[in-house]
Structure 1
Amino acid sequence: MTIYSAECTSTPHTRFSPSDKMTKYNDTGIVTESISVNSQDGISPVHREDNILLQKLGYKSQFKREFSLLETISFSMAIMAASCGVTTGYSYPLLSGGHFAMVWAWPIACAFVMCVAASMAELASSMPTSAGLYYFSAKMASKERSALASWITGWSNITGQVTLICSIDFSCTELITTAIAMSTDGAVVLGSGATFGILMAIHLTQAIFCSAGTRILARTTVVTMVLILTTSIGATIALLVCSGDQRASSVDAWTKFENNTGWSNNVWAFILAFTSPMWSLTGYDSAAHIAEETAGAARAAPIAILVGVLGTEILGWLYYIGASYATNSVPDILQSKLALPLGQVFLNVMGKKGALTLWCSIIVLQYLCGCSQAVDASRVIFAFSRDNALPGSRWWKRINHTTGSPVNAVWFAMVLSAICGTLVFSTAAFNSLASASVIGLYISYVTPIYCRVTWGKEKLQPGPFNLGWWSFPIGWIGISWVAFMVVMLLFPYTQTANVQTMNYSIVIVMAVFIFAGGSWIFSARHWFTGPVPNIDRQSDSSSYSEKHNTESNSPRI
């Protein structure tokens, strides 16, 4: 095992100085190599500190650090996009309890999700690298289980990342088809062929956009956050104000329970409504995956995770409260022929013109949400390939010297997502993608947390954000919640499931796990050792980021 440490000649008021050195030790404690960190003239102290910390983790900085704290928070919120999550996920609580589920399923799930987010933020603060979750698992697990924990986490995360792109983009497609049906009073209803064409067009244009440089992507996230705030707040106010006499009473809006799932047990029916917040509150690990592109990553990444999740939870709950008041009759909305039933609520409350104006804003936001998720997935693929863990890793870990981004990884992620998109011809199979993405991502979220609270109790080197003693009870609460949710998300939405209503997420998830498990048993366990340091393979002076970080030589907040 190779261990890196820093020899700091800095004053007590700074963490590092330009003359710091990275020293490499072997298992016996003997110095095997001393790596000097050059002065990096023209690079801000924050960027220099980030690069040295990254070297301590074993990696050479290869990106421009273009994401400020605000942009990192925006990126985290962009993938969750409260107004999009509620608009497309409204059907889950509508079926699973009506008004009561709309108002109460969201905050209950949010409380437990925050435990997962807090535990992840602690790890991201300690180890700010694009490798993210699978790196955390490797470092927190025992020596014997380190490689396997890293392998499981990496493949789970990639499964969730790719299927989440597809489910987000399909939701964008449904928003578009719903808008067409709304504008034509139901005269034009697109079939699966046209829907598939729109989905592929979204994938293609997103792949082109996400191949751009980091600076463009960073600026776009701020625009996305503005859209999130305006659409979420605007929709909430519009639903409450414009519903007028059609508004449900407060008693009904907060307490009326209507089970339309087909399950006879009302408690279980209500639990199924957790699908909406669990699907919406995914992707906040994105702040960890862009850590190597973020200024002051050890501080910015945990802040972005916590603020992003909390902000999405608050906006989403307010939106659901507005939707509950605006839903005058649950049975009537369930009879709507629109692909997304909240569109019918918009029409009833705001009329065609007002509904389409707000609806089209949400379409634009959902498209940008998909772009952010594509960037996130590409960074995971890049990092996992940098450690030679994916087939064709030598292609996916390349950085494009024109854009300074992993363009190959972007296109690989979008091609995989497009392949998943062929499931659009089977409504039941495609709806299972949402569950599959949540299962894959949350398994990757809690695996490093489990390693942290078991084998890694004394291993964590605290970063600027640290839970202290609370990391253990909070971690176990998050783990227990995810274990319960994974089981729940495998169930169909009706008790009498058939080919059309079956939940096929188990098929999608197991297909990946069988492939990843088989690869581990027959091959990877012989050569995969977890994260592979790359600072020995490049000279310090050849770093792409050090050549280009001078373009932004001061951190932006």
Structure 2
Amino acid sequence: MTMREMTRPDERMSMEEFGNDGKTDVAQKGGTASDEQEMRRMGKVQELRRNFKFIGIVGFVTILQATWQNTLLANQSGLTNGGTAGVIWCTIAVWILMLCTIASMAEMASMCPTAGGQYHWVSEFAPPSLQKPLSYVVGWCCCLGWIAGIPACGLQLAGLVQAMVILVYPKANVSHLWQTTLLVFLFVLLCVGFNIFFAHHLPLAEGIVLFLHIFAFFAFLLVMWIMADHVPAAQVFTEFHNGGGWSSLGLSCLVGLTTPIWCFIGPDAGAHMSEELKDASLQLPKAMIWATFGNGIMGIGMLITFCFCITDLEVLLDANNGLPVIQVLSNATGSKAGTIILGSILLVLLFFSTVTTIASASRQVWAFSRDCGLPFSAWIRYVPLRWEIPLNALLICLGVSLVLSAINFGSYAALNAILSVSNAALIFSYIVSIGCVRLKRLRGEPLLPRRWSLGKWGAPLNDIALLWLCVGFVFSFFPSAPYTSDPDTAWWAGNFNWSIVIFSTTCILALIYFACGGSRRYVAPLALVKAE
């Protein structure tokens, strides 16, 4: 069955505009013979230019994860629930387990290097009776996870700016919800603008920022080791903290997994750029592994260094600037100017992390709309020939991100729930896609040919990844503190994690839309795959 037969006439993209009966010369877009063969097998047309090479995509994944930066910027949850010892040991464990996850996903990326990522893999590997509805739900969850991550990055940028302002002007009143929201709007607009007007320079920018990423790592490391006061190693590695008031330290540390998960989330980012990568089936898996391995080394080194500089954890968590790293840098340098310079470097790096997050989100939305998985797919998936970027998908990401960020005008707790659901939605997509491959291995069914293979280690690595991801998925929905009956704490308003409601609602709406017409519109990727 052809694409013409599978899609509605008013929603499919005309194949003739590409010439050669729907075939595109992939080489003209910068691809190799392997890229052309893989695109032909998957029934996809090469619409985007393959600007990325190995170093560029390593930089892309490395900068998006921004692991060592996030160990400094997103550590409050881990320090509150776990303390220095808890956040260090949990981060090391999560890094090792995420390497197993990324290895499993890298193998799938080598089999099917497509911007669709997880939902495409589910369609190809799931049991035939489930492949269409399951890939459809996973596609919606991937879109939810990536788009929700955009205001999350914007909120970090806004918080960093506000913390630096408060450092210089302690009496400044810049922490109102509306002020934070307007800053988020500004950064989201700037990052989307970069993706639109400088898209073809993105690989070059990633290479330059990768150099800054490495250079700044050593700059921060040296400042904190040389200039800051340090606590004994026994205190750093053995003292736990149960700031949330959970029933045990172990449970508190598991609740604090938010910090290490956020530091390593998004390994599928490279997969969503695979149709813009030269020789993707070979270069992408290696880039995903090397980026996460290098990020883990730097992130854990930076986190340990930072924890050695925490002389009083309770005072640090109660600091009024909201970002412990600014207080630590200020104590270490003894200079507001020095702290602002270091903070500005973090700001630049986090800005480009947001740029890459938006790039990945837009490719995910574009790929899913290409298979008619979203309403108004015909408009969303349009790629202007002169631009060679998914312009309308970028605009969708912009609009939805601004709407999500606007919730911050009225409720910080509601926005936090939207940000938390990013982790949960992406982890769910990892569980389903890896689970489908593991099921094929369990049944002894042959896998697709791949140029990067796990070999005999495939099954155990899949098992480890699935066990870990299930734990991470469950604790993504936990609140920062347990329920209390004390009416003065306003627990339901301030602490409840509404991400479970948002995630469940999204899945239910996706299934309802699927049952009410989406199933007729949606072209499951497997329907376009050619047997070769």
Normalising by structure 2, what TM-score? 0.90
Partner of 1:388: 372
Partner of 1:223: 208
Q: Deviations over 1:414-466 (max 9, x none)?
A: 11111111232322222223321010011112211111111465242231110
Whole-Å separation in 2 of the counterparts to 1:119 and 1:328: 40
Whole-Å separation in 2 of the counterparts to 1:213 and 1:411: 15
Partner of 1:397: 381
Whole-Å separation in 2 of the counterparts to 1:39 and 1:210: 25
Partner of 1:371: 355
Partner of 2:8: none
Structure 1 position 337 matched with structure 2 position 328: no
Q: Deviations over 1:363-388 (max 9, x none)?
A: 11111111110010000111101101
Partner of 1:524: 518
- Cα drift, residue 150 of structure 1: 1.0
Structure 1 position 298 matched with structure 2 position 281: yes
SS of the residue corresponding to residue 48 of structure 2 reads: coil
Partner of 1:510: 504
Partner of 2:180: 195
- Cα drift, residue 224 of structure 1: 2.5
Partner of 1:323: 306
SS of the residue corresponding to residue 368 of structure 1 reads: helix
1:483 equivalent among 447, 467, 470: 470
- Cα drift, residue 307 of structure 1: 1.2
CA contact (8 A) 2:123 2:134 kept: yes
Partner of 1:550: none
The 5 A counterparts of 1:309-458 are 309-351=292-334, 352-425=336-409, 426-455=411-440, 457-458=444-445
Whole-Å separation in 1 of the counterparts to 2:230 and 2:349: 27
- Cα drift, residue 161 of structure 1: 0.3
- Cα drift, residue 255 of structure 1: 1.3
| Mean CA deviation greater in 472-481 or 524-533 | 524-533
Whole-Å separation in 1 of the counterparts to 2:400 and 2:22: 41
The 5 A counterparts of 1:10-409 are 47-212=32-197, 214-243=199-228, 246-351=229-334, 352-409=336-393
SS of the residue corresponding to residue 499 of structure 1 reads: helix
Summarize the Cα distance change of 1:105–1:186 in structure 2 as closer, same or farther, 3 Å threshold.
farther
CA contact (8 A) 1:213 1:403 kept: no
CA contact (8 A) 2:427 2:469 kept: yes
Summarize the Cα distance change of 1:41–1:321 in structure 2 as closer, same or farther, 3 Å threshold.
closer
- Cα drift, residue 43 of structure 1: 7.6
Whole-Å separation in 2 of the counterparts to 1:507 and 1:41: 46
- Cα drift, residue 530 of structure 1: 0.8
- Aligned AA for 1:340? L
SS of the residue corresponding to residue 32 of structure 2 reads: helix
- Aligned AA for 2:267? Y
Give the gaps of 5 or more residues in structure 2: 4-19, 485-490
- Aligned AA for 1:187? A
Whole-Å separation in 1 of the counterparts to 2:24 and 2:353: 39
- Aligned AA for 1:122? E
CA contact (8 A) 1:69 1:304 kept: yes
Q: Deviations over 1:267-314 (max 9, x none)?
A: 101112211111121122111111111111011111121112112211
CA contact (8 A) 1:453 1:476 kept: yes
- Cα drift, residue 231 of structure 1: 2.7
Whole-Å separation in 2 of the counterparts to 1:105 and 1:36: 50
Whole-Å separation in 2 of the counterparts to 1:103 and 1:139: 38
Whole-Å separation in 1 of the counterparts to 2:24 and 2:181: 52
Normalising by structure 1, what TM-score? 0.86
CA contact (8 A) 1:64 1:214 kept: no
- Cα drift, residue 37 of structure 1: 7.2
- Aligned AA for 1:357? I
- Aligned AA for 1:55? R
Q: Deviations over 1:80-105 (max 9, x none)?
A: 01233112211022111222123211
Give the total of aligned pairs. 503
Whole-Å separation in 1 of the counterparts to 2:429 and 2:91: 22
- Cα drift, residue 202 of structure 1: 1.2
Summarize the Cα distance change of 1:41–1:85 in structure 2 as closer, same or farther, 3 Å threshold.
closer
CA contact (8 A) 1:97 1:259 kept: yes
Between structures 1 and 2, the one with greater helix share: 2
Whole-Å separation in 1 of the counterparts to 2:190 and 2:281: 33
- Aligned AA for 2:246? W
Partner of 2:11: none
Whole-Å separation in 2 of the counterparts to 1:298 and 1:218: 18
Whole-Å separation in 2 of the counterparts to 1:435 and 1:292: 29
- Cα drift, residue 527 of structure 1: 4.4
CA contact (8 A) 1:92 1:273 kept: yes
Whole-Å separation in 1 of the counterparts to 2:27 and 2:230: 63
SS of the residue corresponding to residue 525 of structure 2 reads: coil
Give the gaps of 5 or more residues in structure 1: 4-33, 537-557
Whole-Å separation in 2 of the counterparts to 1:431 and 1:85: 17
SS of the residue corresponding to residue 365 of structure 1 reads: helix
Whole-Å separation in 2 of the counterparts to 1:428 and 1:233: 36
